[in-house]
Structure 1
Amino acid sequence: HQEETRKLAAGKLTLRSLKEDVKAVVRALENVEEQTASLEKTCRLLRDELEEEEKKAAQILQIRDQAVLKLPPVPPHQDDSTLETHLRKIIPVSQHETTARKLGEILQKPEASEEEQVLLWQAHKHAQLLFKTLHSNEPWSEGGNDDASLG
């Protein structure tokens, strides 16, 4: 009878140990399930975020493609097409330096006299004509008469 009591006590001890082990395994499985659920939620959120970022990128690319400037072609560069060359043709050689100095002095003054305003107006008109001939095909060269802006 003593041996059976010993075997029963050993069996109870083993059973208690196994129950504790099973409880530990169950807790570990529950933790794994919680972590899995958390990771799945994170993956869903990241997928949604990625999808939104891809939509934004597609919109940016679409806007970029639509925003391409369609400028008119630049006319071929010719030596006589520069503003300086045109001005040299209009203003006599003997007056280049004098005219340049006069215009520079006038532009530095806060107010110009009537004579100086006339000179500025003439320079403006010549420049306007030059730009119209240089850019006759350009849409911005079709500006109106700006005489009033010269005072």
Structure 2
Amino acid sequence: MKPTRGSERASTKGPKTSRKRGQKGSQDGGPSRKKTQTQQQCQKKRVGNDAARKVKGQEKWTLLPKTSITALESILDLSILSALTMRRKDKDQSQSHLNQMKDRFLASCAQLKVPPRNRKVGGMLQVSRLHQAESKKTAVGRRTLQALEDEVGSVVGALEQIEGRMENLDEETRILRRKLEDEEEGAQEILQLSGRGVLNLPALPPHVTRELPLQERMVKDPDVAARLASVLQSSGEVRDVMAFLELAHKQADLLLNTLGPTNPEDSHTRNIQGGN
């Protein structure tokens, strides 16, 4: 039975007054409340549509395969071992705690629904293997890329050196061209001077070209030859030379006679000379 309320106690009408105030406020703010209600209804419709879409897609989902769970278990075991190696104290407690967490996680994963896997991709083991293969390929690609970058750098350095040499050669060729032009100008000046000198030579006198040589004059005029012979014979110097030659012949004959004949032909020739 409900306890009887005392007659002297004043009754509290708080809830009624609060309702009335709320009603008054709702009556005062009528259009704003309608707007909020329409917005809430639109949001609810959107959420319902999204949920319907998700449900439609999730109908084909299946539980996580055992291969994926075993792969996760192996990964977790390796991570637990790596974590235990870093701890120095309370390894057993931490190991049991981590194993419990692992079991809970695997149990939740076993109840988890996932989209159907693609036959080409396979499970998590195949995905991890593919990931490892791709990581190896990327490492090899990075190495080859680094080698190619080094080769390109060496080639660029060689090209820069060749460009520097070409610039030096161009400068040397310019200098040589200037020297050649200067030498050509000097040679042209020399040729011009030589041409001027040949043109400025004086002409030969006319009597020099008309005068005949001595031999032709002697042939044409025999008296000239006789005069020259008489002059040569009458000169004392010519006589002395003739006397010297005669003495030289005599001395040579005496020397040959004293040595004796070495050859009959020589003796015969000497006798002939003596007879003469």
Compute the TM-score of the two structures, normalised by the length of structure 1: 0.51
1:24 and 2:154 matched? no
Q: Which has the larger radius of gyration?
A: 2
Equivalent residue number for residue 37 of structure 1:
164
User: Separation in 2 of the partners of 1:103 and 1:42?
Assistant: 79
Q: CA deviation at 1:28?
A: 1.1
User: Separation in 1 of the partners of 2:190 and 2:230?
Assistant: 49
User: Separation in 1 of the partners of 2:227 and 2:136?
Assistant: 122
User: Separation in 2 of the partners of 1:77 and 1:26?
Assistant: 88
Q: 2:169 is aligned with what amino acid?
A: T
User: Separation in 2 of the partners of 1:103 and 1:27?
Assistant: 99
User: Separation in 1 of the partners of 2:166 and 2:223?
Assistant: 83
Unaligned runs of 5+ in 2: 1-127, 239-276
1:72 and 1:39, CA in 2 relative to 1: closer, same or farther beyond 3 A?
same
Unaligned runs of 5+ in 1: 110-151
SS class of match (1:14): helix
Q: What do residues 33-85 of structure 1 show as CA deviations (whole Å, max 9, x unaligned)?
A: 21121122112212211220221121022022113331123456898x21559
Name which of 60, 73, 87 aligns with 2:203.
73
Equivalent residue number for residue 57 of structure 1:
184
User: Separation in 2 of the partners of 1:104 and 1:45?
Assistant: 74
1:17 and 1:74, CA in 2 relative to 1: closer, same or farther beyond 3 A?
same
Name which of 120, 128, 142 aligns with 1:15.
142
User: Separation in 2 of the partners of 1:44 and 1:14?
Assistant: 44
Q: 2:162 is aligned with what amino acid?
A: Q
Equivalent residue number for residue 47 of structure 1:
174
User: Separation in 2 of the partners of 1:72 and 1:84?
Assistant: 23
1:82 and 2:207 matched? no
Equivalent residue number for residue 225 of structure 2:
97
User: Separation in 1 of the partners of 2:230 and 2:155?
Assistant: 93
Count residues in correspondence: 103
1:74 and 1:3, CA in 2 relative to 1: closer, same or farther beyond 3 A?
same
SS class of match (2:202): coil
User: Separation in 2 of the partners of 1:31 and 1:5?
Assistant: 39
Identity over the aligned pairs, expressed in percent?
Answer: 15
User: Separation in 2 of the partners of 1:76 and 1:15?
Assistant: 101
Q: What do residues 20-42 of structure 1 show as CA deviations (whole Å, max 9, x unaligned)?
A: 01211121121122112112211
